[in-house]
Structure formats: structure tokens, C-alpha cells
């Protein structure tokens, strides 16, 4: 399994990095779901059905709009 570095700005505007395991490059939405699970475990359990189907990448949008977390890049970690 490959490891990917998800770089993001946290709620304070500080660049952070989270390493995740995945066979393929995670999409921005998948990376946002992983970030939400780590940073906001309580909101990770909330139902986003009101945005699902109406908004492209609802988790990515929610993280940015409500939590000021923005993904910068997703790169493979070199060994």
C-alpha cells in the first residue's frame, strides 16, 4: 500500500501534513473525509445528506466553509 501526504492549511492558517495509506491517489473529497475524521471526529459522524447530490465534494466544501481547513496538495510519500 502506498502512503500519501495530504498537505493542508488548518483553521489557524498554518500548513500541516497528514500521511494516509491508499493504493491510489486519494481524490480531494476522499482526502477531505480523512482529514475530517482526524480533525473533527464528532462532525465526522454527522449526516451530510442535505449537501449530498446537490453539491460536488460536500466534505471538501464543508471543511473549507465551516472549519477554515483547505487542502493544498496530495502527493505520494517517497521512501
**pLDDT tens by residue, 20-62:** 999 999 999 999 999 999 998 887 666 655 555 677 788 888 8
Strand order through the sheet with 70-76: 15-22, 2-9, 70-76
Q: How many domains does the chain have?
A: 1
Residue 52: Cβ within 10 Å count: 10
pTM of the model: 0.83
Identify the residue with better confidence: 19 or 59.
19
The x, y and z cell numbers of residue 13, run together, are: 492558517
d(CA 64, CA 79): 31
pLDDT band at 70 (very low <50, low <70, confident <90, very high): very high
Domain of residue 36: give its range.
2-76
The pLDDT, as a whole number, for residue 6 is: 97
pLDDT at 18 over 80: yes
Contact between 44 and 55 under an 8 Å Cβ cutoff? The reply is no
Amino acid at each position: 500500500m502506498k502512503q500519501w501526504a495530504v498537505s493542508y492549511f488548518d483553521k489557524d492558517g498554518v500548513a500541516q501534513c497528514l500521511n494516509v495509506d491508499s493504493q491510489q491517489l486519494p481524490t480531494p473529497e476522499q482526502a477531505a473525509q480523512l482529514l475530517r475524521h482526524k480533525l473533527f471526529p464528532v462532525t465526522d459522524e454527522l449526516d451530510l445528506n442535505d449537501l449530498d447530490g446537490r453539491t460536488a465534494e460536500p466534505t471538501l466544501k464543508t471543511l473549507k466553509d465551516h472549519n477554515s481547513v483547505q487542502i493544498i496538495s496530495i502527493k505520494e510519500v517517497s521512501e
